[in-house]
């Protein structure tokens, strides 16, 4: 995760989850091929029956023979139906096996990929898994498994009469040629249409996510016209593709119908010339029809094939972007000593460094307050400390272990993080506090909320801890959201707690609760990193780090830094030594700290 990049596979070959998924369905492909063998052999039943009826029964006028061959044909066709049904059931199970191998890795890959390329439309990956699964374990695979039977039916057609054989070959070449032409003429249009459609749906989703701003400031029209522009581009490409595909489809349909008539016409001619029997006319028509069937199936499934190919390509890119997460040796619970050594970091996918050579050592159990003007890089530092953003160079250690040596999920349970934009998930308050753990202990949940000072606040909610907070916590006020998120950060006694402006939405009661929580964390030996603009919270700090322009301006014990910051200016002494008044509490900001502060 941090210093060392994850192992990223080269572009050649399949990425492991895709390979595993394809391997999982390989036995099914083999059994479906076997089923297809039997099914295709049984497809000869109808033409052979026709031949017998016309050539044997008609000439002998034997009802007994007719009944006998009808019973045999009926039995064989029932077998055919049974095999078709079994083949479909096998495919459904293969689909589930494919999904089992690939769906969860894809989910994980989207998570890792989004951290590396925020804003990329990677959520599409789950739909791509569905598209690929539906094609590989549905009609697409069946068309593929039936294709090897083409030569067998062509051979059957040649046995009836060489002309039939040639009609089957030329007919399939023309149908195949029309399909390829369709692909060549519509590929670019369809790619553009899909890309525009993804952008349009992403734009619409973002627009509706910020619905309140839209309503309050009358921005709907402007944003709708931006969406509409992309949507119309999508429609334009789609219409172009559909026009071309429609023309070619009509040509294919005409050719197929004409061919059917021509086969009967040729059969009639051959029968007049006594080169085939009257039964041969019907049998020829059926056999050529069967020979052309794989081609027609391929044509019918072409759209699915193109979609599956696109999905496959995107999934491969996704897995390559996400890389693999190497197995890590489990490490003991850290005490929380943080060491940041010459850290250089940029936003994912960006080249400009935001943090430039950040250095500091924070012993376990201490409280560090980070202050500095907006855009100083404080949030970025919080992100690299929690392993959200990778670092470009330098080292970041927790208890001496580089962050990259931890398994991110394992490390996550030892870290509490309260982001600036509180992100809660749809579910109950209790679920959110317990980080959606399956077997969360109610006592731990209450302990965390008590520590965060929101136990009473939650008790007063309509359903207490069982209150559904809605998508993103809509049902809560800004302050309540921040306090629930603080409880989530403190859940499970983490070793390192990183709080990014935890008091931005808090009232004075909330701030008092926060101060008490930090003091309580200190007594339990938890390391706390706190970003704040407000001076009163500095009373809890052991150390203060002043940031500006992505570099550390000063770092040291609280009193020392405060006295340096005060300089000739009259900065209030720490609130511990002075009763809290409106003048030196919530309203006192640190935004004035300039890059020129002496170290």
Q: Which residues bind ligand ADP (CB under 6 A)?
A: 347, 350, 354, 372, 374-380
CA distance 476 to 465: 13
DSSP 8-state secondary structure symbol assigned to residue 56: I
Tallying the residues shown for the chain, one arrives at 599
Q: How far is CA 358 from CA 335, 401, 539, in A?
A: 22, 18, 24
Q: Which is nearer to ligand ADP, 264 or 347 (CB)?
A: 347
Taking the CA atoms of residue 357, residue 360, residue 365 and residue 366 in that order, the dihedral angle to the nearest 10 degrees is: -110
Q: Which is nearer to ligand ADP, 14 or 202 (CB)?
A: 202
How far apart are CB 446 and ligand ADP at their closest, in Å? 32
Q: Which is nearer to ligand ADP, 172 or 379 (CB)?
A: 379
Query: Partners of 361 in the beta sheet?
Result: 339
Q: Which is nearer to ligand ADP, 2 or 380 (CB)?
A: 380
Selection from 4, 9, 104, 1 nearest residue 316 by Cα: 9
Q: Which is nearer to ligand ADP, 106 or 354 (CB)?
A: 354
Q: Are 397 and 361 in contact (CB under 8 A)?
A: no
How far apart are CB 420 and ligand ADP at their closest, in Å? 7
Q: Are 536 and 561 in contact (CB under 8 A)?
A: no
How far apart are CB 482 and ligand ADP at their closest, in Å? 16
- Owner of token pair 């459904």: 92
How far apart are CB 351 and ligand ADP at their closest, in Å? 10
How far apart are CB 349 and ligand ADP at their closest, in Å? 8
How far apart are CB 9 and ligand ADP at their closest, in Å? 26
CA distance 235 to 587: 53
How far apart are CB 355 and ligand ADP at their closest, in Å? 8
Q: Which is nearer to ligand ADP, 35 or 389 (CB)?
A: 389
DSSP 8-state secondary structure symbol assigned to residue 172: H
Q: Which is nearer to ligand ADP, 175 or 353 (CB)?
A: 353
CA distance 230 to 423: 29
Q: What is the DSSP string of 288-351?
A: HHHHHHHHHHHHHTHHHHHHHHHHHHHHHHHHHHH-B-------PPP---EEEEEEEEE-TT--
How far apart are CB 589 and ligand ADP at their closest, in Å? 13
How far apart are CB 368 and ligand ADP at their closest, in Å? 15
Q: Which is nearer to ligand ADP, 338 or 593 (CB)?
A: 593
Q: Are 513 and 453 in contact (CB under 8 A)?
A: yes
Selection from 412, 397, 402, 399 nearest residue 332 by Cα: 399
Q: Which is nearer to ligand ADP, 184 or 347 (CB)?
A: 347
Query: Partners of 554 in the beta sheet?
Result: 546
């Amino acid at each position: 995760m941090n210093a060392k990049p994850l192992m990223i596979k080269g572009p050649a070959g399949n990425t492991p989850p895709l390979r595993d998924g394809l391997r999982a369905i390989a036995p099914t492909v083999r059994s479906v091929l076997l089923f297809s063998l039997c099914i295709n052999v049984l497809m000869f039943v109808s033409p052979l029956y026709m031949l017998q009826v016309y050539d044997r029964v008609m000439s002998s006028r034997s009802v007994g023979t007719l009944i006998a061959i009808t019973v045999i044909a009926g039995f064989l066709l029932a077998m055919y139906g049974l095999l078709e049904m079994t083949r479909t059931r096998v495919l459904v199970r293969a689909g589930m096996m494919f999904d089992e191998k690939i769906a969860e890795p894809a989910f994980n890959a989207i998570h890792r990929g989004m951290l590396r390329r925020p804003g990329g439309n990677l959520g599409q990956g789950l739909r791509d898994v569905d598209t690929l699964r539906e094609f590989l374990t549905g009609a697409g695979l069946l068309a593929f498994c039936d294709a090897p039977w083409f030569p067998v039916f062509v051979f059957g057609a040649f046995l009836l009469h060489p002309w039939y054989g040639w009609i089957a070959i030329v007919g399939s070449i023309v149908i195949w040629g029309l399909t390829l032409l369709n692909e060549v003429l519509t590929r670019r249009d369809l790619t553009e249409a899909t890309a525009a459609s993804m952008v349009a749906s992403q734009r619409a989703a973002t627009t509706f996510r910020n619905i309140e701003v839209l309503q309050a400031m009358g921005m709907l029209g402007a944003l709708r016209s931006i969406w509409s522009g992309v949507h119309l581009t999508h429609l334009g490409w789609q219409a172009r593709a559909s026009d071309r595909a429609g023309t070619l489809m009509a040509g294919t349909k005409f050719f197929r119908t004409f061919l059917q008539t021509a086969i009967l016409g040729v059969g009639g001619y051959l029968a007049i010339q006594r080169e085939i029997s009257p039964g041969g006319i019907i049998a020829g028509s059926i056999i050529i029809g069967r020979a052309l069937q794989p081609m027609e199936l391929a044509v019918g499934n072409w759209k699915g094939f193109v979609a599956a190919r696109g999905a496959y390509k995107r999934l491969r890119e996704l897995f390559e972007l996400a890389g693999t997460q190497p197995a890590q040796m489990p490490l003991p619970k850290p005490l929380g000593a943080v060491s940041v050594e010459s850290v250089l970091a940029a936003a994912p996918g960006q080249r400009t460094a935001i943090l430039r050579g950040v250095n500091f050592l924070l012993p376990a159990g201490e409280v560090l307050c980070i202050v500095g003007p907006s855009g100083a890089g404080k949030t970025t530092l919080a992100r690299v400390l929690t392993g959200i953003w990778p670092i470009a160079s330098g080292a970041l250690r927790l208890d001496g272990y580089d962050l990259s040596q931890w398994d991110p999920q394992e490390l996550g349970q030892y870290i509490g993080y309260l982001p600036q934009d509180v992100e809660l998930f749809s579910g109950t308050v209790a679920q959110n506090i317990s980080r959606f753990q399956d077997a969360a202990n109610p006592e731990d949940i209450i302990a965390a909320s008590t520590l965060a000072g929101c136990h009473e606040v939650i008790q007063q909610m309509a359903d207490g801890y069982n209150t559904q907070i809605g998508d993103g916590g809509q049902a809560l006020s800004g302050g309540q959201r921040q306090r629930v998120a603080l409880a989530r950060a403190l859940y499970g006694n983490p070793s390192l707690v990183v709080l990014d402006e935890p008091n931005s939405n808090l009232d004075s009661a909330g701030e008092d609760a926060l101060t008490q929580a930090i003091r309580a964390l200190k007594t339990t030996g938890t390391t706390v990193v706190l970003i704040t603009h407000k001076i009163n919270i500095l009373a809890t700090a052991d150390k203060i780090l002043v940031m500006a322009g992505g570099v550390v301006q000063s770092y040291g014990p609280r009193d020392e830094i405060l006295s340096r910051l005060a300089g000739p200016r009259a900065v209030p002494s720490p609130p511990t030594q002075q009763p809290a008044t409106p003048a030196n509490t919530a309203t006192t900001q640190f935004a004035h700290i300039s890059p020129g502060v002496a170290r």
